[in-house]
Amino acid sequence: MALIESLRLVLAPPHPAGRPFIIGGAAVAVVGGLLLGSWLFWLGVAFTLFCLYFFRDPERVTPDRPVFVAPADGRVVSVAPAVPPAELGLGATPRWRVAIFLSVLDVHVNRSPVDGIVTRIAYRHGKFLNASLDKASDDNERNALAIRLPGGQEIAVVQIAGLIARRILCNVREGDQLRAGERFGIIRFGSRTDLYLPEGVKPVVTEGQLMIGGETVIAELAPAPNPAAAMAPGTVL
- Active-site residue numbers? 191
Write the single-letter amino acid at 120. R
Cβ contact 17:188 at 8 Å: yes
- Strand-pairing partners, residue 187, are 168
How far apart CA 226 and CA 57 sit, in angstroms, is: 39
Cβ contact 56:73 at 8 Å: no
How far apart CA 229 and CA 237 sit, in angstroms, is: 11
How far apart CA 81 and CA 79 sit, in angstroms, is: 7
